[in-house]
Amino acid sequence: MDAKSTQRKSETGGDAAQPRRPRVQKDITAAIGLDICSERYPVGSVLPKENDLCDRYGVSRTVIRESLKALAARGLVHGRPRIGTMVCEKEEWNILDPQILAWMGPRIEELDLLGCILETRRTVEPVAAEFAAERATVQEIADLENAWKRMRDAGADTEAFTRADVHFHELLLKASHNRVFRQLSSIIDAAMKYALHCSNKAVDKRDEALDIHRELVEALRLRDGAAARACSHRMLDLAARDLAPAMRQRGQAGRTHLTKSP
Amino acid sequence: MDAKSTQRKSETGGDAAQPRRPRVQKDITAAIGLDICSERYPVGSVLPKENDLCDRYGVSRTVIRESLKALAARGLVHGRPRIGTMVCEKEEWNILDPQILAWMGPRIEELDLLGCILETRRTVEPVAAEFAAERATVQEIADLENAWKRMRDAGADTEAFTRADVHFHELLLKASHNRVFRQLSSIIDAAMKYALHCSNKAVDKRDEALDIHRELVEALRLRDGAAARACSHRMLDLAARDLAPAMRQRGQAGRTHLTKSP
DNA sequence: TCGCATCTATTGTATGATGAATGAAATTGC
DNA sequence: GCAATTTCATTCATCATACAATAGATGCGA
C-alpha cells in the first residue's frame, strides 16, 4: 500500500517522462557555471539572451534569472540592462566558493589557491590561536579536542581525516571570539578543505600533524597564548613543507613567504 | 501625441497618483530588516506567515519571499518549511553587511565592531603591506598615492577624508595580490568605513595619519617590505589611540591586543 | 552630415497561480 | 493508552504574463 511512498525519484540528470515540474535550478546554475569555468563562454563574452537560454535549457525565464543571479553573486557574471550578461574577469571570481571550486575541477591548480590560502593561514591562524588561548570557553576547547580525536581515529580514511582537520581549524577561528575571523572561517572553508586534502595526501606525515594539533589544544587549556601561537606556527611550517611539491610543480607561488616562520 | 513619452516619473520616494507597480522590494526588505534590528521581532521569534506579511505591507507574496531571501542571505533570518521564518541569533548575523549596519543605526555600538575590526586590521594589514611592497604594480602604487592625495585635499570634509581613507586601505589589500585578502577587503569595507569614521572624528589628529600614509606609499615605492610593515603598525597604533575613548566608553573590547604592537 | 528626439529590443521587477516538499497535528490501529 | 499513519497548512520552487526602465538603433530635420 506504500506504492506512493516510494516516489522519491531524485534523478538529477535524467530527462524522465513525467513533466511534473522537477527542481532544476541547481542543475541549470551548474550547467552555465560549468560552461563558464571551462571557458566555453570565455571571459568578457556576452552569453545568449535570457529567452534563448530559456529555449536552450527548456525552463522558464524565472529559473534562468535565478541562476544568473546566483552566478552573479559568485562574481562569475555581471548583467547590465539591455546589454546582456557578461562573463567577468577571473580576478572578479569568488574562487573561494565551493561551487566554483567544484566547477573548476582539475583546473583549480591554475588559481594558485594553495599559495594564497597558506599565506592567509600564516597571517591569521597564529593570532587566532593566541586569542583563543584567552577567550575560548571550556566547551569550545572540548570541541577542539573532539575534532582532534576524530582526526586520530580516522585511520587510513583520508577523507575523514581531512574533514576533521577542516573542522578543527574552523573551531579554532570561532574560538578566537572575533567576528571577522569567524566569518573568514566560513568563507575559506571550501578552499581549506582542498588545501588540507593536498597536505594530508602523505599518510606517513599525519602522525606529526596529529601531535601538534594535540599540543595546541593543550596550550589552549593552559591558557598559554604564546605556546598556542608557537604551535600554530609549527603546524603551518609542516603544512608548507607538505605542500611544497604540489606548489612547486607549477612554478609561481609567492616568493619566500610560504616557508618562513617569523 | 507625445503625451506618452513624457512619462519619465522616477520619483523614488514619492507616493504619486499613478501607482503603476512601484519598485518596493528594497523598501520591504529594509522595513523588515529594520524591525528585526530594532528587536521589534526579537531574536528567536517567528515572524508572521508570508500571507500575513503580504497583507501588512500590501505587496505580493513574491516580493515578501524575495525580501526574506535577502534577509536570510545576511544571516538575519532562517526559514524552514511549515515552521515559518525565524530570527537568527545575533551571532549568526553578518554584521559586516552595509545594510545591517545601516539598519542598526546607533545600536551598532552594541556589536563591538570597532574591537574586532581593529584586531583584524592589526593581524592582516601589516602583512598585506609587506606583500604589497614586493608585488604591487606601479599602477597600484600610483592609485594608492592618488587616494592619499584625496585624503590630503579633503580639508574639513570628514566624509570625503574617510571615503579616501577607506579606499586607501582597500587598495592596499588589493595590492597584496592575495585573493583572500582582496576578498576580505570587500567584506569588511562597510565596517571599515564606520571604524575609520570614528577614528577620523578628531580633525586635529589627521595630519599625523596623513604623514604615515604617505610614508607607507614611499616604502612601497622603494620596495621596502620591512618599512611598509612598520608603517602599517604605526598607522594602527594611531588608530587604536584615536579609537580608545570610543571603545572604552562601553567597557568590553578585547584585553590588551588592541594597543600593542608586536 | 551632424545632432537630437523617437523607437525598439532586452533586461529588470512584480503578480498570481500551482505543483512539490515538509513537518506538525489529527486520526487511526493495536 | 500509545505509536504509526494520514492529513493538512505552510513554505519552497516553478511558471506564464505583464509592466517598467534603459541603452542602443533608427530616423528626421537643419
Task: Tell me the pLDDT tens digit for each residue of A148-159.
Answer: 999 999 988 999
pLDDT tens, residue by residue, B40-95: 999 999 999 999 999 999 999 999 999 999 999 999 999 999 999 999 999 999 99
Q: Which nucleotide has the least CA–C1' distance to A54?
A: D15
Q: Which nucleotide has the least CA–C1' distance to A18?
A: C19
In this predicted structure, what is the pLDDT of residue A136?
98
The answer, yes or no, to whether residue B1 has pLDDT greater than 70, is: no
**Which H/E stretch holds residue A46?**
strand A46-47
pLDDT tens, residue by residue, A36-55: 999 999 999 999 999 999 99
Q: How far is B123 from chain A (nearest CA, A)?
A: 6
Quickly state the pLDDT bin for A11 (edges 50, 70, 90): very low
Among protein residues, the one whose C-alpha sits closest to the C1' atom of D21 is A81
Q: Residue holding cell 594539533?
A: A213
Q: How far is A177 from chain B (nearest CA, A)?
A: 9
Q: Phi/psi of residue B46, each to 5°?
A: -105, 125
In this predicted structure, what is the pLDDT of residue A118?
96
A67 touches strand C (CB under 7 A): no
In this predicted structure, what is the pLDDT of residue B142?
98
In this predicted structure, what is the pLDDT of residue A247?
80
What's the Cα-to-Cα distance from B193 to each of B148, B158, B200, rounded to whole Å?
16, 12, 10
The answer, yes or no, to whether residue B154 has pLDDT greater than 60, is: yes
For chain A, give the mean pLDDT: 88
pLDDT tens, residue by residue, A164-189: 999 999 999 999 999 999 999 999 99
In this predicted structure, what is the pLDDT of residue B159?
93
- DSSP string computed for A193-209: HHHHHHHTT-GGGHHHH
Nearest-angstrom CA–CA distance, B43 and B63? 23
What is the SS3 assignment for A84?
Answer: strand
Residues of A with CB under 8 A from a CB of B: 94-96, 111-112, 116-117, 119-120, 123-124, 127, 131, 134-135, 177-181, 183-184, 187-188, 191, 254-255, 257
What is the SS3 assignment for B47?
Answer: strand
Nearest to A123 among B112, B127, B188 (CB): B127
Quickly state the pLDDT bin for B252 (edges 50, 70, 90): very low
pTM for the whole structure: 0.87
Residues of B in contact with A180 (CB under 8 A): 96, 116-117, 119-120, 188, 191
Residues of B in contact with A117 (CB under 8 A): 180
Name the amino acid, one letter, at B83. Answer: I
In this predicted structure, what is the pLDDT of residue B22?
82
The answer, yes or no, to whether residue A80 has pLDDT greater than 80, is: yes
In this predicted structure, what is the pLDDT of residue B152?
96
In this predicted structure, what is the pLDDT of residue A246?
81
The answer, yes or no, to whether residue B13 has pLDDT greater than 60, is: no
Contact (CB<8Å) A131/B254: yes
For chain B, give the mean pLDDT: 88
Cell triple for B9: 516619473
In this predicted structure, what is the pLDDT of residue A244?
87
pLDDT tens, residue by residue, B16-46: 334 467 889 999 999 999 999 999 999 999 9
In this predicted structure, what is the pLDDT of residue B201?
87
In this predicted structure, what is the pLDDT of residue A135?
97
The answer, yes or no, to whether residue B2 has pLDDT greater than 60, is: no
Residues of B in contact with A131 (CB under 8 A): 119, 254, 257
The answer, yes or no, to whether residue A232 has pLDDT greater than 80, is: yes
CB atoms closer than 10 angstroms to residue B217: 22
> What is the arithmetic mean of pLDDT over B146-150?
98
Q: Which residues have CB under 8 Å from A55's CB, separation 6+?
A: none
In this predicted structure, what is the pLDDT of residue B202?
82
Partners of A77 in the beta sheet? A87
pLDDT tens, residue by residue, B174-210: 999 999 999 999 999 999 999 999 998 888 889 999 9
Q: Which residues have CB under 8 Å from A66's CB, separation 6+?
A: A25, A29
pLDDT tens, residue by residue, A87-122: 999 999 999 999 999 999 999 988 889 999 999 999
Q: Residue holding cell 503603476?
A: B20
Q: Which residues have CB under 8 Å from B207's CB, separation 6+?
A: none
